[in-house]
Structure 1
Amino acid sequence: MSEQQPPKIEFPCEDYPIKVLGDAGNELRALVIEVMERHAPGFDQAQIRVKDSRNGTYQSLTVRITATGVQQLKTIHRELIASPLTKTVL
């Protein structure tokens, strides 16, 4: 039986989704925009999807960027997860 390998991403990868889960509020959105502008300048802010949790305590923000490489994605993840506003980055 062969082991299944995760799919390989070919870079640059347009329309790459990144989902950020965290505390609801404008601060989370501002953080996501700041980090994305630094590492994926020119991403379309109008395409940010925001979903509130049932009680409104948390939000998920989904952004789509042009991913240029593994290092870029690791850096974005590291910077987002370092914030106390962020719970998870997918």
Structure 2
Amino acid sequence: MSEETLLKFPCRFAIKAMGKTTPELDLVVVEIVRRHSPDLTEGAVKSRPSKGGNYTAITVIIEAHSKQQLDNIYLDLSSHPLIMMVL
């Protein structure tokens, strides 16, 4: 049984994670994504604090190779206690 997706792999894909601003949030997100996509390139990670600075949104651009890879990244990110939301 094949899983349907509109994506054609491999492709560039943006993963966004948000959480309360902490010194380790960026490191946690990068470490989790790197487990599934070890070939992160220079400039692949961007952080943006919320207007009040209480929350941070982190975007990581990866070269995605399968739907399963993306599912695994989302599962690991969403199960981490520092991460409130994954898009």
- TM-score above 0.5: yes
C-alpha distance after superposition, 1:18-59 (max 9, x if no partner): 011111122111111111111001212533111101111100
Which residue of structure 2 aligns with residue 47 of structure 1? 44
By percentage of residues, which structure has more helix? 1
Which residue of structure 2 aligns with residue 74 of structure 1? 71
Q: Which protein shows a greater Rg? A: 1
Which residue of structure 2 aligns with residue 4 of structure 1? none
Question: What residue ranges of structure 1 are gaps of 5+ in the alignment?
Answer: 1-6
Say which is worse superposed, 24-33 or 52-61, in terms of deviation. Answer: 24-33
C-alpha distance after superposition, 1:50-71 (max 9, x if no partner): 1101111100000100011111
TM-score (normalised: structure 2): 0.87
User: Identical aligned pairs, as a percentage?
Assistant: 35
Q: Report runs of 4+ in structure 1 exceeding 6 Å deviation.
A: none
TM-score (normalised: structure 1): 0.84
Tell me the number of residue pairs that the alignment of Structure 1 and Structure 2 aligns. 83
Which residue of structure 1 aligns with residue 86 of structure 2? 89
The alignment partner of 1:26 has SS state of coil
Task: Tell me, yes or no, if the aligned pair for 1:37 and 1:43 is still in contact at 8 Å.
Answer: yes
User: How do residues 1-90 of structure 1 correspond to structure 2 at under 5 angstroms?
Assistant: 8-13=6-11, 15-90=12-87
